[in-house]
Structure 1
Amino acid sequence: MKFQLKLIDSAALKRLTILAIIIVSLLVFGWSLMVWMPGESYRQALPPLSASEIELKDRLQRDVETLATKIGRRNSGNYSNLVAAKDFLSQELATAGYTVKEQKYTVDGKTFSNLEVEIPGSSLAEQILVIGGHYDSAFTSLGANDNGTGAAAVLSLARSFVGTKPLRTIRFVEFTNEEPPFFWTKNMGSVVYAQAAKQRGDKIVGMFSLETLGYFSDKANTQKYPPPLSLLYPTQGNFIGFISNIDSRELLRNTVRSFRAQAKFPSEGVALPSMIQGVGWSDHWSFWQQGYQAVMITDTAPFRYPYYHTMDDSIDKIDFDKLARVTSGISKVISDFIGLQE
C-alpha cells in the first residue's frame, strides 16, 4: 500500500513538474515576445535643457496655447474651431516651407481635412515613415494634452526637418476626427488616410502616432495600467510610453532602442495584443488595419492623466519642459530611422 502511494505521488509530482515547465516556458515566451525591450530606461536626474530644447519648449507652448486656449474645443460639434485649427496648422507648415496637401472628405455635409507634408527620400524613397497626430479634441474638452501636445509635436518635428536630405521619405500628418463619434469608424481621419495610402500602394514601413504627450508625475501610484501590466511597470507616471501590437514589435523595439540610446528621459515599451484595453486607442490603430507597422508614443492618457476628456484638460496641466525633452528624443529616433545625408 505504501509502495502504491509512492507511485501515485511520483506520478503526481511528474505532472506538476511538467505543468510548471509549461507555465515557466509560456511566461518566458510572453516576456520575450511582448515585454522585453532593448536598452535601459533613463533613471537619473534630468539634465538641464539645451539651448535648442529651450527654443523647442517655447514653440510647443505657443502652439498648444493656440490650439487649446485661443481656439479651444475643436471637433464636428465645434466645427468652426476645428476649421480654425486646421487653418492654423496648415499656415504654420506652409510658413516652414512645405507644400501642404489637404486630404478632404465629407461627412453629413461638413468637410474635414487631414494635412500632409512630405520630404522625399533619395536612395530609399519608396520607403515611407509617417509621423502623425490628431488635432481635434473631444466634445467635452479643450484638448490641451489630448491632443494639442501631439499635434504641436508633429508641427515642431516637421519644422525641424526642413532642408534635410533623408534616405527614406518622411511624411508629417495632422489628422482630423480621431475622437468620438468618429473613433474606430470609416470617418476617422487616420482611417481615411491609411486606406488611401494602401490603395495607392504606398510602402509605409513605419508610423509613429503622437498621442497625449505632456503630463508627468514623480509621485507614487500616479500611473495605472490595464491588468496585469501593473505587475511589470513603474507606478510613477514619469515616463514616456511606446506601445504597439504584436505585429509591430520589430518597429517598436528599434524605436525604443534608438530613444534610449540618445534621449535622457525615462521610457517604457510593450507590444501587446490589440484587443487589450488602450492598446489601439489612437491613429496607429488605423495603420494596423491596413497591415502597416505602427507605434503609439504617449504619456498613456487616461491611465495617468486625471483630466482626460474634460474641460480641465487645459494648458496649465502640461509640463512643457518634459514635452520638449520627449519631442527632441523623437526627433533623434526619426533621424535614425530615415537616415540623413550630410
Structure 2
Amino acid sequence: MDIKMDMYREIMEQPRVLGGILPKNEAVLNSLVAKIKESDIKQVVLAARGSSDHCAIYAKYLIELLVGIPVSLSAASVVTLYGGELRYENTLVLAISQSGAAEDVAAVVKNGNRSKAVTAAITNKEGSLLDKEAAYGLLCAAGEEKSVAATKTFMASLYLVALLVAKWAGNSDLLKSLEALPNALVHEAAQVDSIMALAREYTFMRECITLSRGLLYPLALEAGLKMMETTYTNARGFAVSDFQHGPLALVQQDTPVFLYAPGTGAAHKDAVAAFEQYAALGADLTVFTSDEALAKKARRAVITAKADEYTEIFHHTMAAQLFACGLAIAKHKNPDAPRNIKKVTITK
C-alpha cells in the first residue's frame, strides 16, 4: 500500500527499529542490572507523561510480576508544583520520555539523584535533558520520529522496558521471545490492507471506548490516545475491571467498543467474559485478539499473532497504530500534524 505519511512509514519501520535496540543498549543494560542488584532495590518509581506513561504502566505490571517488588507511578507535580522532596533510598527511579525533554520527569530524576536512588532513563535522543540527568541512559535508537503521533518510539520504549526486566529477572524465555519479536511483527505488517479497510467502516465514529485487562491494559489507553490525537475521536480507555465500576453505563445499542483481548494467560478468561457482556448490551464490538474462536464471534476482528502474555502487547500495538492511521486517512485528517499539539510537549 502506497501511503505517503510519516506515521504510516514509522509504524512500518518498527520491526527494523526493534532489531537494533539490544546491540545499542546491551552494555548499559548489563551495567544497570548489576547496579540494581548490588543496591538492594526495594521499590521502583516510574516517571512519564502521555504515551510514555502508558509504557510505564506496562513496566509496572512486568516488574511486579517477574521481579516481585512494588512499583509506583510518580506524580511529578509533587516535586515541580508543590516543591516536595521525596526519599528514594533503595529505589530505582526509571524515567521514560521519547524526546528526553520532559522537565517535570527530569525533576523527579534529579530528586532521585539527590536521595541516592539508582536513576535510569529511556529516551530517543542521546544527550537530551533526561539522558544527561539519569545515571543510566537507555536509547530507543529509533531515528528521527517526524509524525506528532508517537509510534516507533513508543514501541521501542516498551521493548527497552521488557529487555531490562528480562535481564533483571533472569528470564531467558522472555529474552528469547524478545529476540524473535522483530521478525514476528511481520504478521501485523501483512494485514495493512484489511486493517485499513476495517478503519474505513468507522468514518462515522465520533466517540468510542477502548478496553483491555492486565498486561494489555496500557495498550487500551494508548490505542485510545492514538485515535484521539490523529482523528479527534473521543476515545476513552479503561481496564475491563474498572469499566464495571460506573463507566459500563456508557454502553448502549451500537456504542463502538474496541476490545484488545489477550489470547492467552491470566487475563484471557476475563476478556472473553467482557466480550460476551458487551455483545449482550448491543455494543458495536471490534476485537483485536490472537484467539481465533473469540474473533469468529465478533462482528469485526483483527487477528494478531500468537505470543506469550508478556509480549503480545507488541502485536496489539502495531495493529492499533495501523487502525488509527487508517481511520485518520478515512476521515481525511493528517495524522502527522494534528491540530493544537506539537511533537515535543514540555510540562513542568
TM-score, structure 2 length as denominator? Answer: 0.28
Q: Which has the larger radius of gyration?
A: 1
Bigger proportion of residues as helix: 2
TM-score, structure 1 length as denominator? Answer: 0.29
Q: Which has the higher contact order (CA 8 A, sep 6+)?
A: 1
